[in-house]
């Protein structure tokens, strides 16, 4: 795969030459967060550029109530809970899926929704519940597999559908006067599915610059350079600096599959509260695959762990070292909040690449 062809040093110099005032941008993709740390990109930013991490990790924004619902389902007899590995160690109000597995629950890690359906087909005497977590990058696979289950009339398969939509969360963040965001570095792989139009309201209605970026150093710096250019010329837009993967129209086939299977509902995000129409759910004929409905479990609001600042971190109001638990009672080996569990969580990234947690590193 060919990359942009621009070297990071050239891009860094261009950023410094182009920025003409202090700007605050937010990245809303956990893979960006990790990539920026791993490649030491913050040292290449101009002093006037502040990049904050937003709610870019689907595991991290899963609410405490949703995790508790997953734990209640996994605890039921004769259920196989199939989950992406990222969710295994996320603490609920009492324990995690990993701890439940140690206590005898049948929790299996899968790398694909299709693998979860295979488990159901191979174990017709048991119910298999797939824990459907993820943004628009991940949700199409769940939709395709549910369509397959419907066609094949597989009745021992269901989904705890916790998929979330990114653009409604961006609207919430854009409306937060405390953040005063000048531009969003948009997630490359969510945008592979969405294309550019679902973000258009940010530029047209809210006058916020938007640039879709890939994940190499040059991709990210190109995205930031495009944001600076948009602000400086006062022409906010939605542009793709990741054209080798993101078509302007996205992947219509994936969206059509999602539209056939999912409805939209208001949903709670950790740190952001209930966001209108930000959740994908199973309605109409698809509700037969809704694990909550099938097993009489509901998602109820539950408070986050005491002292945990994941909510403020996901909203961009705090950097991880500003959480009183960071690096003390909350570490990757013994996480309190989800941002320390997920490999793409802000806290885990700060801990791994900036272990001292020096808040002075805030950009």
Which positions touch another protein (CB under 8 A)? 1-2, 4-5, 14, 17-18, 20, 29-31, 56-59, 84, 86, 111-115, 133-135, 137-138, 140-141, 144, 187, 189-190, 192-193, 222, 225-226, 229, 232-233, 239-241, 243-247, 251, 253-254, 257, 342, 344
Q: How many residues does the chain have?
A: 363
Q: Report the nearest approach of another protein to the CB of residue 67 (Å).
A: 15
Burial of 272 (C-beta count, 10 Å sphere; 0-12/13-18/19+) = buried
Cβ closer to another protein: 224 or 297? Answer: 224
Cβ closer to another protein: 75 or 245? Answer: 245
Q: Report the nearest approach of another protein to the CB of residue 22 (Å).
A: 16
- Of 356, 270, 273, residue with least CA distance to 313: 270
Cβ closer to another protein: 137 or 278? Answer: 137
Q: Report the nearest approach of another protein to the CB of residue 112 (Å).
A: 3
Cβ closer to another protein: 112 or 354? Answer: 112
Cβ closer to another protein: 254 or 275? Answer: 254
Q: Report the nearest approach of another protein to the CB of residue 34 (Å).
A: 9
Cβ closer to another protein: 38 or 301? Answer: 38
Cβ closer to another protein: 214 or 320? Answer: 214
Q: What are all long-range contacts of 174-179, with beta carbons under 8 Å and residues at least 24 apart? A: 174/202, 174/206, 174/208, 175/206, 176/315, 178/317, 179/24, 179/26, 179/52, 179/315, 179/316, 179/317
What is the rounded CA–CA span in Å between residue 119 and residue 126?
9
Q: Report the nearest approach of another protein to the CB of residue 82 (Å).
A: 12
What is the rounded CA–CA span in Å between residue 42 and residue 33?
11
Q: Where are the alpha helices (DSSP H) in the chain?
A: 8-18, 30-38, 58-61, 64-74, 97-102, 113-122, 139-151, 166-174, 188-194, 200-204, 217-232, 252-261, 291-295, 310-314, 338-341, 346-353
Q: Report the nearest approach of another protein to the CB of residue 123 (Å).
A: 19
What is the rounded CA–CA span in Å between residue 114 and residue 282?
18
What is the rounded CA–CA span in Å between residue 81 and residue 101?
10
The answer to whether 42 and 361 have CB atoms below 8 angstroms apart is: yes
Q: Report the nearest approach of another protein to the CB of residue 94 (Å).
A: 24
């Amino acid at each position: 795969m060919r990359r942009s062809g621009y070297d990071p040093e050239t891009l860094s110099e261009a950023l410094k030459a182009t920025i003409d005032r202090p700007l605050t941008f937010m990245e809303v993709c956990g893979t960006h967060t990790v990539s920026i740390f791993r490649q030491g990109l913050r040292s290449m930013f101009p002093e006037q550029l502040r990049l904050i991490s937003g709610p870019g990790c689907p595991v991290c924004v899963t609410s405490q109530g949703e995790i508790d619902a997953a734990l209640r389902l996994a605890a039921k007899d004769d259920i196989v809970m199939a989950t992406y590995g990222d969710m295994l160690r996320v603490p609920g109000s009492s324990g995690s899926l990993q701890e439940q597995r140690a206590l005898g629950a049948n929790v299996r890690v899968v790398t694909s929704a299709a693998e979860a359906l295979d488990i159901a087909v191979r174990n017709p005497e048991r119910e298999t519940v797939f824990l459907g977590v993820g943004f628009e990058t991940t949700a199409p696979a769940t939709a395709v597999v549910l369509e397959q289950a419907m066609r094949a009339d597989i009745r021992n398969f269901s989904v705890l559908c916790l998929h979330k939509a990114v653009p409604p969360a961006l609207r919430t963040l854009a409306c937060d006067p405390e953040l005063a965001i000048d531009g969003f570095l948009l997630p490359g792989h969510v945008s592979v599915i969405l294309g550019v139009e679902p973000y258009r309201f940010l530029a047209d209605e809210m006058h916020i610059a938007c640039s879709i970026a890939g994940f190499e150093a040059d991709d990210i710096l190109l995205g930031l350079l495009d944001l600076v250019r948009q602000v400086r010329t006062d022409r906010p837009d939605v542009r793709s600096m990741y054209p080798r993967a993101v078509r302007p129209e996205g992947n219509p086939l994936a969206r059509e599959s999602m539209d056939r299977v999912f409805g939209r509902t208001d949903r709670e995000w950790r740190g952001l509260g209930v966001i209108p129409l930000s959740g994908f759910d199973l309605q109409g004929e698809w509700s037969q695959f809704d694990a909550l409905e099938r097993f009489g479990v509901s998602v109820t609001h539950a408070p986050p762990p005491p002292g945990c600042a994941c909510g403020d971190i996901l909203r961009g109001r705090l950097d991880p070292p500003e959480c009183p638990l960071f690096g003390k009672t909350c570490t990757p080996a013994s996480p309190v909040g989800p941002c320390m569990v997920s490999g793409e969580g802000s806290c885990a990234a700060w801990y791994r690449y900036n272990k001292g947690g020096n808040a002075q590193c805030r950009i």
